[in-house]
Amino acid sequence: MDSSLEFSSSLGSVSSLLSRCRTFKVLVIGDSGVGKTCLTHRLCAGEFPRRTEATIGVDFRERALEIDGEKIKLQLWDTAGQERFRKSLVQHYYRNVHAVLFVYDVTCPASFNGLGAWVEECRQNSLGHEIPRFLIGNKSDLRNASSTSCQVSQELAMNFAKTHAMVFFETSAKNPLKKQLNGRRGEVEEMFQQSGVEDIVTAVGTTLKRHKTPLTANSPAYSGSFKVHKKKQQKELWTCC
Ligand SMILES: Nc1nc2c(ncn2[C@@H]2O[C@H](COP(=O)(O)OP(=O)(O)OP(=O)(O)O)[C@@H](O)[C@H]2O)c(=O)[nH]1
């Protein structure tokens, strides 16, 4: 691949060195287009980006939170879903990881079927089973009660999560609070469980707070981005079913 690497960052920036706040590296992986960028944006900035482009390399976003009186920081690594934009960086992704978010699109069964390959990538990069893993079905706002065949059922996802020792959430980066309702015959019945993104932040934070080896001055926190030099491309349109 004729690409070169650029690491624009502030390694162990003064603020992170001086801060007593423990920082945890959280890797976000999944197929291209499942919404990793939007989700991390929502988790860190509390909003849905109007426009996104395919992630090239990795983008970093941070989210500070307080758990039981302790301030911690989640450093989310929003990685490229497209193989050609991640190939040369995979080793960097997995170094000193504290938790992994596996993301799929609930309206795209192919992205769910692709999860096995992401689990395998973790294995190939020696990610231990002690590293907490979270499974996130994104785009729940697009669930349609009348065309369930094109969607990933929660039951299937929960079984996958159980098999791979993951904590499962279904949410929407776009509209995290919207509930899907079935108003048939005047009844209002909830069709599925949905979590707010804050539930995910809290679950990850609470789990990691118990973690003994956060990033320190010796394993510096990064801010900035790794880029694989390639001409930026508009997000390709993907369709499922
Ligand atoms: N309706 C809806 N659309 C979403 C949601 N999350 C993301 N999208 C859309 O899905 C498309 C892809 O989102 P991205 O966040 O760029 O996807 P990605 O997984 O980061 O893709 P790569 O960078 O290629 O790996 C964009 O058009 C988003 O607007 C969601 O929760 N609901």
> Which atom of ligand 1 is least distant from the CA of 51?
29
ipTM for the predicted complex comes to 0.99
pLDDT: is 219 or 140 the higher one?
140
Please state, in angstroms and rounded to a whole number, the distance separating the CA atoms of residues 196 and 201.
Answer: 9
DSSP element (H, E) containing 94: helix 90-94
Residue 232, pLDDT > 50, answer no
Question: Residue 211: CB partners within 8 Å, gap ≥ 6?
Answer: 24, 98, 132
Residue 38 Cα to ligand 1 middle (Å): 6
List the residue whose alpha carbon is closest to atom 6 of ligand 1: 35
pLDDT band at residue 144 using 50, 70 and 90 as cut-offs: confident
Per-residue tokens: 237: 């349109």
Spell out the SS3 assignment of 183-206. CHHHCCEECCCCCCHHHHHHHHHH
Q: Is the dihedral of CA 199, 128, 25, 231 positive or negative?
A: negative
Question: What pLDDT shows up at residue 196?
Answer: 83
The reply to whether ligand 1 has any atom less than 6 angstroms from the CB of 33 is yes
Place of tokens 């996104």: 52
Which homologous superfamily is 22-178+195-210 in?
A: P-loop containing nucleotide triphosphate hydrolases (3.40.50.300)
Total-model pTM: 0.82
Average pLDDT value for the chain? 80
pLDDT band at residue 191 using 50, 70 and 90 as cut-offs: very low
The reply to whether ligand 1 has any atom less than 6 angstroms from the CB of 79 is no
Neighbouring CB atoms inside 10 A of 170's CB total 21
Radius of gyration of the chain (CA): 18
Question: What pLDDT shows up at residue 88?
Answer: 83
Residue 92 in 3-state DSSP? helix
Q: What is the mean pLDDT of residues 184-213?
A: 71
| 21, 38 contact by CB (below 8 A) | no
The reply to whether ligand 1 has any atom less than 6 angstroms from the CB of 101 is no
Q: What is the mean pLDDT of residues 54-77?
A: 93
Question: Residue 109: CB partners within 8 Å, gap ≥ 6?
Answer: 150, 151, 152, 240, 241
Please state, in angstroms and rounded to a whole number, the distance separating the CA atoms of residues 156 and 95.
Answer: 30
Residue 49 Cα to ligand 1 middle (Å): 9
Q: Note the pLDDT tens digit of each residue in 158-180.
A: 999 999 999 999 999 998 765 54
Place of tokens 């990064």: 222
Note the residue count of the chain: 241
Q: What is the mean pLDDT of residues 93-118?
A: 96
Residue 60 in 3-state DSSP? strand
Q: Select from 52, 195, 232, 237 the residue to mutate for testing ligand 1; criterion: most ligand atoms less than 8 Å from CB.
A: 52
pLDDT: is 220 or 144 the higher one?
144
Residue 57 Cα to ligand 1 middle (Å): 16
